[in-house]
Structures are given as structure tokens and as C-alpha cells.
Chains A and B, each alone.
Chain A
């Protein structure tokens, strides 16, 4: 079994707000991220897939295909978007890094027919990232 990781970047804006919370609660729980005018990040996404090396090609996965799936399923939907307003997963969910990693996993899971998805890692900042392994 070999693990392969593909890295890509996207930029998006968001804010954190739970409509069931009072204004004070939103402020207390989400701090600066509660500003409803939003703010943005340069996200780094690392997608790790795993599989046996194909003896014919020497590949676990054809990187070109993986790149196309990533572009189509993730980057086109998220890059230079406002997550709360333009990405359906976040109409009713808070676009934290945790939820972003989970959303990207689900976007990829069914479309990634070329290899088995192992881990989605999303960096919101160089010193903050979330890993999701598809666990319930």
C-alpha cells in the first residue's frame, strides 16, 4: 500500500454565525470570526489517497486524473467564493476548518473512482489545520 498526497490552494471568505445563538453568544463563541462582513483565508488543501502500485504504470493513481477531479469537484466550487453564501454545504452549517474538511471529503468520496480516499487535510493558516479520515 502506498499513500500519495496532492496539494492545492484556494482562497475563500467566510464568517461564523449560528442563528440559534444570541448576538452575545455568537460573539463569545466565535470571537473575531463572528463579524458578519466576513473575512478570508488562503487555504491549502492536501488530499491523500492510497492503493497498490499498478505494476504496468508504477502509479497508485494517475495524478492527471486526480488533479482534474480536484479541480472540478473542489476548487471550482470553493476558490474565490464566499463559503456562507455560495457553497450549499454552508448555507446551514458553520464553515469552520473542521466542516470544510468534512465537506471536501464528501465532495471527493463518490467522484474519486481512481483511488481510495485516505485523508483530507485543510490548512486555514500555516499554524492551523484539520484532518478528516471519513470517520463517523
Chain B
């Protein structure tokens, strides 16, 4: 039988929302406080949802240890306590949480093959959260 498993992780990173293609005034209008030249940070809560058949031998979709290791290695070590703006992933895209969601989804899609990646959810603050399912519609 097919089930979905979701695991939650935390990391902290800083960013500044700024698009070099726009004027200083436009950047300030569009991004407001998030355009502050010195940047600011968030504690991001990341939820990774995978799906697959439950293996009758183990009762699991995939081993949680493998998922934790992949997320630790590919996402947490890459982004935790980093400035997103200076990283290669955000060389040509603004490090909004929308874009970060897509980046994280695509990295995990490439690196974690033990189960099907359904979606990632990123909470930037308690008020804002973002979900990306590789372009698919979300399931309630």
C-alpha cells in the first residue's frame, strides 16, 4: 500500500531580496524591509514529503536514517548558517523562499532516490509558508 511520509527539519540562513535588474528605488518598493543591504535571517522549517509502497519486510516507505542523511548532507550542510545570496544556487535568482523551495526540491529530487519526492514545504516565519511539488498541484 502506498503511503506518504513527512519529516521536518530546521536550518537558519540569511538573505537579502534584491534584483540587480531593477533600480534601487524599484528594489525598495518591491522588497521593502527585505531589501536592507545588510540582509537578515530566518529560522526556516523544512518539511520533506516522500511517498512509496510500504515494504512488508520493514513496514517502511524508506529508511528514515537514509532520508535524514540525505537532507542533512544535501540541504542542511549546504544552507545552514549561510548567506543565501552569495551561494551559487542564487547567483541568478533572488533568494526568496519561493525560489528556495524550488531549489531544495530540485536538489533532493536529484540526490534522494529511495522514495518518490512528493513536495517540500518551507516555513519562513510563523506567518509565511511555501510549498512546491515539482509543478504538480498540492494534495490536501
Name A residues whose Cβ lies closer than 8 Å to a Cβ of B.
3, 16, 18, 20-21, 29-31, 48, 93-99, 101-102, 118-119, 126-133, 135-136
B contacts with A: majority SS = mixed
Q: Are A129 and B6 also in contact (CB < 8 A) when A118-B140, A119-B140 are?
A: yes
Inter-chain contact A96/B58, CB cutoff 8 Å? yes
A48 to B140, CA, bound (A): 9
Inter-chain contact A130/B5, CB cutoff 8 Å? yes
Task: Name the CB-closest residue of B to A106.
Answer: B1
Residues of B within 8 A of A127 (CB): 7-9
Inter-chain contact A131/B6, CB cutoff 8 Å? yes
Q: Are A135 and B8 also in contact (CB < 8 A) when A29-B58, A98-B59, A128-B64 are?
A: no
A125 to B4, CA, bound (A): 15
- If A93-B59, A130-B5, A135-B3 are given as contacts, then 15 extra A-B residue pairs at C-beta distance below 8 Å, sorted by A number, are A16-B59, A21-B57, A30-B58, A31-B65, A98-B5, A98-B59, A127-B8, A127-B9, A128-B7, A129-B5, A131-B3, A131-B4, A131-B5, A132-B3, A135-B1
- The A/B interface has a contact count, at CB < 8 Å, of 66
Name B residues whose Cβ lies closer than 8 Å to a Cβ of A.
1-9, 49, 54, 56-61, 63-65, 139-140
A130 to B65, CA, bound (A): 16
Q: Give, as a whole number of angstroms, the nearest-CB distance from B27 to chain A.
A: 36
Q: Give, as a whole number of angstroms, the nearest-CB distance from A30 to chain B.
A: 8
Q: Are A98 and B60 also in contact (CB < 8 A) when A127-B9, A132-B1 are?
A: yes
- Most chain B CB within 10 A, of A3, A93, A96, is at A96
Residues of B within 8 A of A101 (CB): 3
Of all A-B residue pairs in the complex, the 10 with the closest CB atoms, nearest first, are A94-B59, A96-B59, A127-B8, A131-B4, A135-B2, A98-B54, A99-B59, A98-B3, A132-B3, A130-B5
19 contacts between A and B (CB under 8 A): A29-B58, A48-B140, A93-B59, A96-B54, A98-B54, A98-B61, A99-B59, A101-B3, A126-B8, A127-B9, A128-B5, A128-B6, A129-B5, A129-B6, A130-B5, A130-B6, A131-B49, A135-B2, A136-B2
